[in-house]
Structure 1
Amino acid sequence: MVAATATLPGAGSEVVVGRISHGLMFMTAGSSPVPDEQCFKSIKTGVDALPPGAKAFLNAGEFYGPNFGTANLEMLARFYEKYPEYVDKTFLSVKGGIVEKKPIPDCSLENLRKSVDKIQSALGPLKKIDLYEPARVDPKFSIEEQMATLVTLLKEGKFTHIGLSECNANTLRRAHAVHPITAAEIEVSPWEYGGNQKAVIETAKELGICVLAYSPLGRGFLTGQIKKFDDIPEGDHRRLFDKFKEDNIAHNYQLVKALTTVADRLGYTPAQLCIAWVASLGPHVVPLPGSSKASRTLENLEAGDIKLSDTDLAEVNEIIGAHTVKGGRYLGKSDQEMFLWG
């Protein structure tokens, strides 16, 4: 297959990427790290499906490893060392900027410089950071102060593009007024599409910013593979999340059943329907599903070619509107406290 592509808007307008990006978190952040060769095959499959000149949009994290470690980046370093011809075929976004070994943001100049240097050291000499995102907006500093810090590091050549993660529309607008933002990463899916998502997507469209829409499959729930609490493996962090609690799953699964009915009728998997729906929110919205298997990578990429009709979109939107989702995004705590799962 030849996968669909998208040109990043605004500050990223010189970059053509796959219409569907590739999240790498659970290659290394799970209880059992995925073998290198499986990870490599998944990444290569996504790159090889793109037409010449397009780059696979990869999303990694400074802390996507045991004990908030750099295992994710070290895996990428081994990938690029083995396949150096893929360095220029990928556009790499990396989240960072936490307190050492703690899920707390620290966007001071000292810590962000330490963060990008740590990331680059783990990545090795072949691949440079294309887009850097503080993992969360730091409440200890104004967004203008945080942007000034990021611009300082940008001018030092630490990375090429600035991104934000889990910001609201007002913060995005203020940040963009200081320096162009290339991408804003927020959670968007049929079970996570509220006022903040709609406002960020609309503001990003106005300003020429890519929305990197993570967890378009509801952390796997919308694929239909989890029907009850016991379907979640022991040690899986989803067992802790509100939406996956036993008393919420049965209710929330009704949304999955309704979406699956539509997907079956159209000849798609439920995952493909969800990804295509997220992509339909605008050409500047780039779905970010995770994958550690080549077959899943291809399934996700195929969704980038799906064009849902107005009738199909209306049906999906009606389903989303009719099914209230029970449970918060994390543990009932603030996003600042639980940001690592983004």
Structure 2
Amino acid sequence: MEIKQIALGSQGLVVPDIGLGCMGMTGFEEGHMYGPADEQEAIATIHRSLELGGNFLDTADLYGPLKNEQLIARAIAGKRKDFIIATKFGWEINDENKVTWAINGKKAYVKKALERSLKNLNTDYIDLYYMHRLDKNTPIEETVEAMGELVREGKVGYIGLSEVSSETVRRAHAVHPVTAVQSEYSLFERTVEERGVLNTLKELGIGFVAYSPLGRGFLSGQIKTLDDLPENDFRRAMPRFQGGHFDKNIELVKAIEAMAAEKQITSSQLALAWIMAKGIVPIPGTKRRKYLEQNIAATKIQLSEADLAQLESIVPLGTDTGAPYDEFGMGLND
């Protein structure tokens, strides 16, 4: 199966039109992000992705912390040049490899984080290096200047930002060309559209990467009750999965599933095809080959204007499906 290659932004980076989010492949400190993971199956999933043309992997030093990058290093050993690796920095990780839960965008920390990621990924360059969250106590110019220096040193190919406002994007782009912005985006989460961020990216020639394109698993249709989430799953703390929001979202998913069934595809595939129809690169996370293959098959689905309109009438822009994070998490977005 040939996956279409597209330019991500206008700086020269070319990627498949779907990527692979790797976060769920490792646990997080004492718990799991999306239920327990099996390292062998996770590595097999990365290898299968490559066989199918899916060589764009997304990770971050935060995941694990550090364990996710180390897993990817094991998966890509001997095949580094075949992959496009994106990782992120910004959540401060101390010398004991513990997350301090502060955001650090200071120049010295950017360099330190990059060296640590290179070591964990067992590589000498990172294709796309993102600032994971904005450090509100450090001018974005200082952070991006440090990132630009890493590009000039040949340690980073392209730079990106995550969960930022139009104003931050403009300020950053003026210091060093930004290739991509990554934010949560799905039929259930369209804040970047409502706030005009997508228009700003279009204007500046910056690509957009959508994480959680299946609404944290909601749009897969596999979550029917809260009991479908493991006890220590972090989603239980999200407003989207609580109370009235949960019940309302289940109804929306049923309508999306009905439309998918008419097309003889899954609701996940429909949700991904909707994103790709907009020229956006989704990076659905999975740790199993079965779901990876389904996700990649979505690249072949062509939706008409009428299909897109029908989907957007089910979940119109501005629909309140519940905040994607708790209050602490929301406060960290730009």
**Normalized against structure 2, the TM-score is what?**
0.91
Alignment correspondent of 2:59: 60
Q: Which residue is equivalent to 1:74?
A: 70
* Residue segments in structure 2 that go unaligned for 5+ positions in a row: 94-98
Q: Is 1:269 aligned to 2:231, yes or no?
A: no
Counterpart contact for 1:240–1:331, Cα < 8 Å = yes
Q: In structure 1, the residue corresponding to 2:92 is in which secondary structure?
A: coil
- Of residues 114, 117, 132 in structure 2, which corresponds to 1:116? 114
RMSD (Å), alpha carbons: 2.0
Q: Once the 2 structures are TM-superposed, how far is the Cα of residue 323 of structure 1 from its aligned partner?
A: 8.5
What residue in structure 1 maps to residue 198 of structure 2? 201
In structure 2, do the counterparts of structure 1 residues 323 and 266 end up closer, same or farther at CA, with 3 Å as the change threshold?
farther
Looking at structure 2, the residues matched to 295 and 166 of structure 1 have their Cα atoms a distance apart, in angstroms, of 30
C-alpha distance in 1 between matches for 2:161 and 2:323? 22
Given candidates 81, 86, 90, the residue that maps to 1:93 is: 86
Q: Deviations over 1:212-245 (max 9, x none)?
A: 1111100001111112222211100001111101
Question: What letter is aligned with 1:295?
Answer: K
Matched, 1:216 2:209: no
User: What letter matches 2:18 in structure 1?
Assistant: I
Is 1:311 matched with 2:312? no
Which amino acid letter does the alignment assign opposite residue 56 of structure 1? N
- 1:289 counterpart residue number: 284
Q: What secondary structure does 2:244 align onto?
A: helix
Which residue of 323, 328, 334 maps to 2:323?
328
Show the counterpart of 2:52. 49
Paired AA for residue 80 in structure 1? I
Report deviation, 1:334.
Answer: 4.5
Q: CA deviation at 1:182?
A: 0.9
Contact 1:188 1:197 in 2 (8 A): no
Please tell me whether the aligned partners of residues 130 and 161 of structure 2 are also in contact (alpha carbons under 8 angstroms): yes
Which residue of structure 1 lines up, in the alignment, with residue 19 of structure 2?
21
Deviation at 1:196, TM superposition (A): 4.7
Q: 5+ unaligned residues in a row in structure 1: which ranges?
A: none
Q: 1:197 to 1:26 in 2, by over 3 A?
A: farther
Contact kept, 8 Å, 1:227 with 1:253, in 2: the verdict is yes
1:338–1:148 Cα change, 3 Å: closer
Residues 283-324 of structure 1 deviation map (CA, whole Å, 9 limit, x = unaligned): 2x1011101111111111111121101111110011111883
Any runs of at least 4 consecutive aligned residues in structure 1 with deviations exceeding 4 A, and if so which? 195-198, 336-339
Alignment of 1:260 onto 2:263:
no
Alignment CA distance shift 1:308-1:198 (3 Å): farther
Summarize the alignment of residues 167-186 of structure 1 with structure 2, pairs less than 5 Å apart: 167-186=164-183
Aligned 8 A contact 1:255 1:323 in 2: no
Task: Give the conservation status (yes or no) of the 8 Å contact 2:84–2:127.
Answer: yes
- Matched-pair contact (CA < 8 Å) for 2:27–2:37: no
Distance 1:198 1:164, change over 3 A: same
2:103 alignment partner in structure 1: 105
**Residue 2 of structure 1: aligned partner:** 2
Q: In the alignment, does 2:229 pair up with 1:243?
A: no
Which residue identity lines up with residue 322 of structure 2 in the other structure?
G
Find the aligned partners of 1:249 and 1:337 in 2 and give their Cα distance: 24
C-alpha change, 1:270 and 1:254, in structure 2 (3 Å) is: same
User: Deviations 1:238-285 (Å, cap 9, x if unpaired)?
Assistant: 01111101332111111101111111111110000001111122x2x1
Q: CA deviation at 1:149?
A: 2.0
CA contact (8 A) 1:242 1:332 kept: no
C-alpha displacement at 1:326, in angstroms? 3.8
Identity rate, percent: 34
State the match for 2:42 in structure 1. 39
- What does residue range 221-236 of structure 1 map to in structure 2 within 5 Å? 221-236=218-233
C-alpha distance in 2 between matches for 1:223 and 1:326: 15
2:236 and 2:25 mapped to 1: Cα distance? 19
Relative to 1, partners in 2 of residues 1:220 and 1:106: Cα closer, same or farther, differing over 3 Å? same
Per-residue CA deviations over 1:68-99 (Å, capped at 9, x if unaligned) read: x2100111111122xx1x31121110011222
